[in-house]
A and B are shown apart, each in its own frame.
Chain A
């Protein structure tokens, strides 16, 4: 086990990739604080972690609220004493063209994906600096490296995460803290389910969600949709000592799909 007795916080851990990360980290021996805006979902994840024999707490956190983020850190410290690893994963998406984009949708994507990353990493890094050790992993996206119609706000937010991670990595390097981002491609999650449905609606002409899924597979050299567990393996690697000489990087987990314009 590569993460025996480490304390990990995972945000957005209620479902999808965040849940897979929490379980994969627990299987490697970590005690996991699972946080999500949906407390009911994250409590269920916490129960699964208990069954693996790890210690865990579930915390309700809106990552856009500094107060709630601080509360997450305090609850973690009270239970475990320190934080070794952070997986900043909470994220959202929506789809609309820029000309029709309501300001609320811009704010929704930017606030949760980008500002949420800032608030969570800042609060946790302050604790990691005290012990001059830590691993921070931010979940960005393939969208952080390219562009796609109807998701300008989402792409803006994920580009922002990648640049923020590079800057933060430079600042925390002398404190023994590594900071990296992970850029998943097409991964089977509820976010993807919503997106393929929206894509089909926007395209019209009788397009079906499964048509969009098929296109995603065709765009992916490895010829399949990724599973959350595919990304979790990379997150575990970045959380472990195996990646001790890596920082400031943005790692693609896309099945070979490249999205750099």
Chain B
């Protein structure tokens, strides 16, 4: 087991990717505090995994983030791994986007990363050890139509992580991002819920590359995350990884994505 004696804190668990990550962390011996905007979702997942605690937290509120960090320190004494899986996507034309909708998506996806980093860093600096991983999106690199706030927020998160990796280089803290290549319906539903919109039909995205089975992606991301968080990945920092250059989904009606 590659993460025995390690403790993790995970923000946002209502997605296949987050669930795969939590299960993989546990399988590698990690103890986890799992949080989600929806307390019952966090508690339910925690009940399915050994050595975990579930707690409700809104990552747009620093007090909530601190509460999760404090619980984690109280339960397990230190934080080795911090993961932000807070992902809310709003599928809407930029021209129709209200200022409030913009703020909601940017705060949930990007400001959350600032709150989380700031609150876990003290403990990691004291321990001279740590790994911070933001689960962002391939959309941060490609910039799909009708997802501008989402793309902007996820790339903002990557920018923060890259800078942070430079700041804590001498504290033995690694800071990286994962960029999943597709967006789960749960993220779109959450983005709609937070902004008072109707969730889009599941059929808005269709599989683009028949070569890639996206049902494998959550576990593949979890495997990479464990590698980055473990001792094997100790020399890797400031990176933002996507798993394949074939974009696995495109957006019905507006099937364009910019090249990097």
Chain B residues positioned under 8 Å from A126 (CB to CB):
95
Chain B residues positioned under 8 Å from A247 (CB to CB):
258
A148 at interface by CB-CB < 8 Å = yes
Question: SS class of chain A's interface: helix, strand, loop or mixed?
Answer: helix
**B163: shortest Cβ distance to chain A, in Å?**
4
Q: Which residue of A lies closest to B113 (CB)?
A: A156
Chain A residues positioned under 8 Å from B121 (CB to CB):
98-99
A73 at interface by CB-CB < 8 Å = no
Interface range on chain A (Cβ under 8 Å from partner)? 35 or more
Do residues B163 and A125 form an inter-chain contact, with CB atoms below 8 A?
no
A258 at interface by CB-CB < 8 Å = no
Do residues A122 and B97 form an inter-chain contact, with CB atoms below 8 A?
yes
Do residues B163 and A161 form an inter-chain contact, with CB atoms below 8 A?
no
Known A-B contacts A103-B62, A148-B166, A163-B151; the reply to A155 vs B160 at CB < 8 A is yes
Do residues A171 and B166 form an inter-chain contact, with CB atoms below 8 A?
no
Binds B, one of A25-33, A45-53, A111-119, A188-196: A111-119
Chain A residues positioned under 8 Å from B95 (CB to CB):
122, 125-126, 129, 171
B140 at interface by CB-CB < 8 Å = yes
Do residues A157 and B144 form an inter-chain contact, with CB atoms below 8 A?
no
Do residues B163 and A168 form an inter-chain contact, with CB atoms below 8 A?
no
In chain B between 141 and 157, which residues have their CB closer than 8 angstroms to a CB of chain A? 141-149, 151-157
Known A-B contacts A97-B167, A163-B152; the reply to A114 vs B160 at CB < 8 A is no
A108 at interface by CB-CB < 8 Å = no
**B87: shortest Cβ distance to chain A, in Å?**
14
B192 at interface by CB-CB < 8 Å = no
Do residues A170 and B143 form an inter-chain contact, with CB atoms below 8 A?
yes
Known A-B contacts A110-B156, A156-B163; the reply to A147 vs B118 at CB < 8 A is no
Choose from A106, A156, A167 the contact partner of B143 (Cβ within 8 Å). A167
CA distance A148 to B238 in the complex (A): 10
Binds A, one of B41-49, B99-107, B193-201, B215-223: B99-107
Do residues A156 and B99 form an inter-chain contact, with CB atoms below 8 A?
no
B76 at interface by CB-CB < 8 Å = no
Q: Which residue of A lies closest to B162 (CB)?
A: A147
1/0 per position for B160-174, CB-CB distance to A under 8 A? 111111110000000
* A–B pairs, 11, beta carbons within 8 Å: A101-B114, A106-B111, A149-B167, A152-B160, A159-B157, A163-B139, A163-B148, A167-B94, A167-B143, A169-B258, A171-B145
Q: Which 10 A-B pairs have the closest CB atoms?
A: A166-B143, A147-B162, A159-B159, A163-B155, A167-B148, A248-B258, A160-B156, A170-B145, A152-B163, A164-B152
Starting from the known contacts A121-B94, A144-B159, A163-B141, 11 additional A-B residue pairs (CB-CB under 8 Å) come to A115-B102, A115-B106, A125-B94, A152-B159, A154-B163, A158-B159, A159-B158, A167-B258, A171-B254, A248-B143, A261-B165
- Contacts from A to B (Cβ < 8 Å): 66, 97-99, 101, 103, 106, 110, 114-115, 118-119, 121-122, 125-126, 129, 143-144, 146-171, 173, 247-249, 261
